[in-house]
Amino acid sequence: MAASTSSSMNNSSSTNSSAPHAPSGSPGKYPKIEVLAALVVGLAAFGFAPILVRLAPDTSPLVLVVYRTVFAALMLVPFWLWKRSREPRSGKNRERLWIALSGACLGIHFTCWIASLYYTSVASASVLVTIHPIIMILIERFWFGRYFSKLTWTGVLMAFSGSLILGVSDSQIDQPFADPLFGNALAFTAALVFVVYLLIGQKIRKKRAWIDYVFPIYFFAAGTCVAIALISGRDLLDITTIGVWAGAGLAFGPQVLGHGAMNFAVKYVAPTLLSTLILVEPLLASTLAFFFFAELPPLTSMAAMLVILLGVGLTWRRKVSFGE
């Protein structure tokens, strides 16, 4: 994957040096308003993810993530049966292997991230799980040879710095958490596997329609989560009614709408830009946590939120090309 992707990325860089944000897709234009609308809906859905998890404190995180991923796959089955491509095409078998790996990464991402919310605060988990823009921009630059403007680098670093400040200031919140260090480690692991998931998506999504990519991903993610829960000895029926509803909410909102929007946009927008945009999630999650759980952010957290917004604004300031 690295070699072929590197070649296409290098070609893209040489032909689009004046527009470093343009994705390395094939020529063509896609209605920008639809991509932007998908991103807005996706971000709003992401913000509710920690809230829904916190509503089911008596449910094992490994069980909750099973219900989330299984429900999401089931929700998409009718659309996949209706809209899936039946056109024979070379390379499909190899694509399935990459999709299986991507789905497994997504399942591990969900498992680690949801589990982290049981041990640390919403703000810390949301910040550490969004460390991936730094990893992503370094990979795209030094592995794929993609060039970004100084403004983009400044925006990414500023947004991430705001996230770090938000995480540090989170320690000022006078609320007990089970094991913040372990929870933070889980959130960081979730960020690492998310990078792999997004990079595979950048390569495979260009060759497939949205439903032909998203449904198999969610299917393999669900299978991974079920396997992890069973190997860990969890009873999948040991869940409260609220836990079932929380799982359904996580499936429809953050997964189908949130991750679905990102999977739609990754065909047209560079992964680094998407990763940076997702840094807005800690701001949304922390704000919602205040209203739902009275987790009042300190003044430093509020300042950090402004830094995040400024950084994202700088990253997206230059015109973004939406190509097909």
Is 5 contained in some domain?
A: no
CA dist 112 and 302 (Å) reads 27
Question: Could you tell me if 225 and 61 are in contact, meaning their C-beta atoms sit under 8 angstroms apart?
Answer: no
Which of the 8 DSSP states describes residue 143?
T
The two structure tokens encoding residue 30: 């896609």
Please state the rounded mean pLDDT for residues 301-316. Answer: 74
Give residue 203's domain range: 28-315
In a domain, 223, yes or no: yes
**pLDDT band with cut points at 50, 70 and 90 for residue 98:** very high
Is 7 a member of any domain? no
- Per-residue pLDDT of 119-176, as tens digits, reads 877 667 767 777 777 777 778 777 877 777 788 788 878 877 877 776 666 555 556 6
Q: Buried b vs exposed e over 83-98: b needs ≥16 C-beta within 10 Å?
A: eeeeeeeeeeeebeee
Q: Distance between CA 112 and CA 135 in Å, rounded?
A: 18
Q: According to the model, what pLDDT value does residue 249 have?
A: 94
> What pLDDT is attached to residue 140?
77
What is the reported pLDDT for 311? 76
Rounded to whole angstroms, the Cα distance separating 65 from 262 reads: 19
Per the structure, the count of domains in the chain is 1
From residue 252, alpha-carbon distances to 48, 51, 100, 145 in Å are: 11, 14, 21, 36
274's tokens: 């998407």
295 sits in the region (left: phi over 0; alpha: psi -120 to 50; else beta) called beta
pLDDT tens for each residue of 42-83: 888 887 877 888 788 888 889 999 999 999 999 999 989 988
CA distance 27 to 201: 19
In a domain, 321, yes or no: no
Judged against a pLDDT cut of 70, whether residue 8 lies above it is answered with no
Q: What is the pLDDT of residues 221-272, one digit of tens each?
A: 999 999 999 999 999 998 999 999 999 999 999 899 988 888 888 788 777 7
Residue 323 CA to residue 269 CA, distance in Å, equals 8
pLDDT of residue 210: 87
**At residue 185, what is the residue type?**
A
Least confident of 82-96, 107-121, 224-238: 82-96
Q: What is the dihedral of CA 311, 168, 197, 239, to 10 degrees?
A: -130
Instruction: State the DSSP string of 82-124.
Output: HH------TTHHHHHHHHHHHHHHHHHHHHHHHHHTTTS-HHH
Residue 3 lies in a domain: no
- Per mean pLDDT, which of 7-11, 36-40, 139-143, 274-278 is the most reliable? 36-40
Q: Is residue 249 part of a domain?
A: yes
Bigger pLDDT: 126 or 35?
Answer: 35
Are residues 23 and 203 in contact, defined by beta-carbon separation less than 8 angstroms?
Answer: no
- Would you place residue 318 in the very low, low, confident or very high pLDDT band (cuts 50, 70, 90)? low
In a domain, 6, yes or no: no
Q: What confidence score (pLDDT) does residue 71 get? A: 96
Residue 259 lies in a domain: yes
Those residues whose C-beta lies under 8 Å from the C-beta of residue 33, and which sit 6 or more positions away, are none
Residue 183 near residue 54 (C-beta atoms within 8 A)? no
